[in-house]
Amino acid sequence: MLEPEPGGGVVAAERGRGGSGRVRAGRAWVEGAFRPVEVVFENGVIVGLESPTTASRKATIVPDDAVLLPGLVDSHVHVNEPGRTEWEGFRSATLAAAAGGVTTIVDMPLNSVPATTTPGALTIKKSAAAPSAFIDVGFWGGAVPENLGQLAPLHEAGVYGFKCFLAPSGVDEFGHLDRTQLAAAMEEIAAIGSRLIVHAEDPALLHEPPAESHGALGRGYDAFLASRPPASEASAIEAVIAEARRTGARAHILHLSDAGSLPVIRAAKAEGVALTVETCPHYLTIVAEEIPDGAAEFKCCPPIREASNRDLLWAGVVDGTIDAIVSDHSPSTVDLKRSGGGDFGLAWGGIAGLQVGLSAVWTEARSRGIPIETILPLYTTGPARVAGLDGVGAIEVGAPAHLTVFGLDDPYPIDARALLHKNPITAYDHRLLAGRVRRTWLRGRAIFNVTEGGAGEAPRFRATPKGRLLSARTLAAADGLG
């Protein structure tokens, strides 16, 4: 039996078959509700859901002040390995994920080098991940101008779909699609039965800094926010919906920040367009009015918007318009985030938050009187459906024994230096969150276990990577999108 190291931390066993055992909880998330259950698993697979009894059975007991959840799914993570491993990497990213209750991620095709736009690049990415992943990892491919018309081999190689940008991505090796290329990509996606996931900003409506400023916008957040207005998102989202309607292709809107686009998304879904949409913890928990001058750790694209916009995004969560809440974990080195002395035009964009997403969103939800039952599908079955992942995000017979224990009232003071992300910079630094992951199992074996220790203490770990690389040979037939 695995034991945590003093002070809490990551623990793991050897690769091989999954674990066998029982976990008993008074409140387990099963079939969309909390109920008492004893989860029985053999060789890493759930084989039974029994009513808890007082009989003498060897089971791990979940305390009454915590809940048992399926392992979370995050379908939007930038691991950046190989090529920019100093920004993150499969070891650090998947350790951080495990500490956040996440047992499955789907890796974005950038900012690694090479970008995942060819079968050969996917092979290189898998070779980097295989010896280092502590949790299960799938991969998105990229749709860029150079590989349009050649997506089928990458689809057959096992990517879960294709990401494109409609505005410059920020890295030269991953070009963006214009409207004609978007139409061509959608046609190709429809033909091969994949899905297109879209960074939706219209470059014609972005307000770039003047040439003489060399990209500088200044240290004030307002100038950066004004440079990427809601109209840019709205225009791009409407274009994606139009092409999805025309072609029948499955489309997904990444990291929605503009709540003003929710009505057109609702209408498209009601019409039967094969469309899903995600938002991120930073859009649901942080507001523009609170971002200090020069605090480039808050820079991301599309940007964090005003409090009134956040309220409307929450309405989209509550009414079911938003399908998933995902991290868009997009880290970089501290130097890149601080480049330009806090100038929002010069600093690298991206929020690091893979380890703390559920805690951050639960903290905000609780303050709004929103029950955790409302957000749990968006962290489990929602992102699994977005990616077409089978058999994850649920506690059910036949599913892998991916489980996590979440202490709903546990105080969680965030210290960027204590997180397992590779670089100690995050927009959540110094926040006091409510709710913390206490333990995570992957296929029935403990990979994270935190005990009582000093507040904010960095976990120590002794671990062997044992995640699997997932391949989407075919998309789930019953994901509700035609």
pLDDT of residue 53: 77
* Phi, psi (degrees; rounded to nearest 5) at 308: -65, -35
3-class SS of residue 285: helix
Beta strands in 301-453 (DSSP E): 324-325, 403-413, 432-442, 445-449
* pLDDT mean by block of 10 residues, the chain; 482 residues: 35 59 96 96 96 76 96 98 97 96 98 97 97 96 98 97 97 97 98 97 92 83 97 98 98 98 98 98 98 96 98 98 98 94 94 98 98 98 96 96 97 96 97 96 92 45 76 50 34
pLDDT of residue 55: 58
Question: Is the separation of the CB atoms in 280 and 327 below 8 Å?
Answer: yes
- Into which CATH architecture does domain 71-394+411-430 fall? Alpha-Beta Barrel (3.20)
Classify residue 368 by its DSSP letter: T
* Phi, psi (degrees; rounded to nearest 5) at 223: -65, -40
Beta-ladder partners of 400 = 45
Cut 0.75: pTM above it: yes
Question: Is the separation of the CB atoms in 52 and 61 below 8 Å?
Answer: no
Burial string for 345-376 (b: 16+ CB within 10 Å, else e) reads bbbbbbbbbbbbbbbbbbbbbbeeebebeebb
Question: Is the separation of the CB atoms in 192 and 155 below 8 Å?
Answer: yes
Q: By C-alpha distance, which of 285, 329, 323 is closest to 304?
A: 285
d(CA 72, CA 152): 30
pLDDT of residue 466: 81
* Phi, psi (degrees; rounded to nearest 5) at 77: -135, 130
Residue spans per domain, the chain: 71-394+411-430
Sheet of 102-107, strand order? 72-77, 102-107, 136-139
Which residues, other chains included, contact 211 with Cβ-Cβ below 8 Å and sequence gap of 6+?
none
